[in-house]
Amino acid sequence: MYRLKITDSFSASHQLKGYKGKCESLHGHNFKVELVLEGEKLDKLGLLLDFKILKKILTDVLEKLDHKHLNQIPAFSKKNPSAENIAEFIFKELSRKLPKAVKLCEVCVWESDQAGACYYK
């Protein structure tokens, strides 16, 4: 089994409705996103998936979030855009776009260097 891991980032604002603290107010983060995927077979070049392709897929997903107010994105109309829910959103979006030869294992979203949340199946 082989695993690949990449990171990227995006900037966005959000607010956690019903939080009863500072995070209920509009604020922003420079979010860091990490993802891990796995597969069993390498191609003839010895690659599970070209990093260039993987980065492009992740960039396309993050474009939906970058420099946006996350509460206004339809995926977060009924739930807070918490790090946990953002990780789930990215996971589901990526899962639809990846080749069948690889499996997405985990997506982690970091709001800061000290605080992050992961989603996996």
Q: Is 14 a catalytic residue?
A: yes
Q: Tell which residue, 121, 2, 107, 5, has the closest CA to residue 55.
A: 5
Q: Which fold has domain 2-120?
A: Tetrahydropterin Synthase; Chain A (3.30.479)
Cα 4 to Cα 95: distance, rounded to the nearest angstrom: 15
**Span 2-24, pLDDT tens digits:** 999 999 999 999 999 999 999 99
Active site residue 23: yes
Mean pLDDT within 32-46: 97
Q: Note if 69 is an active site residue.
A: no
Per-chain mean pLDDT for the chain: 97
| Chain Cα centroid distance, residue 85 | 10
Q: Does residue 106 carry a catalytic annotation?
A: no
Active-site entry in 23, 34, 69, 106: 23
Model pLDDT, residue 121: 87
pLDDT score recorded for residue 30: 98
Helix (H, G, I), strand (E, B) or coil at 52: helix
Read off the pTM: 0.96
Q: Strands, DSSP E only, in the chain?
A: 2-14, 27-39, 68-69, 103-110, 116-120
Q: Is 29 a catalytic residue?
A: yes
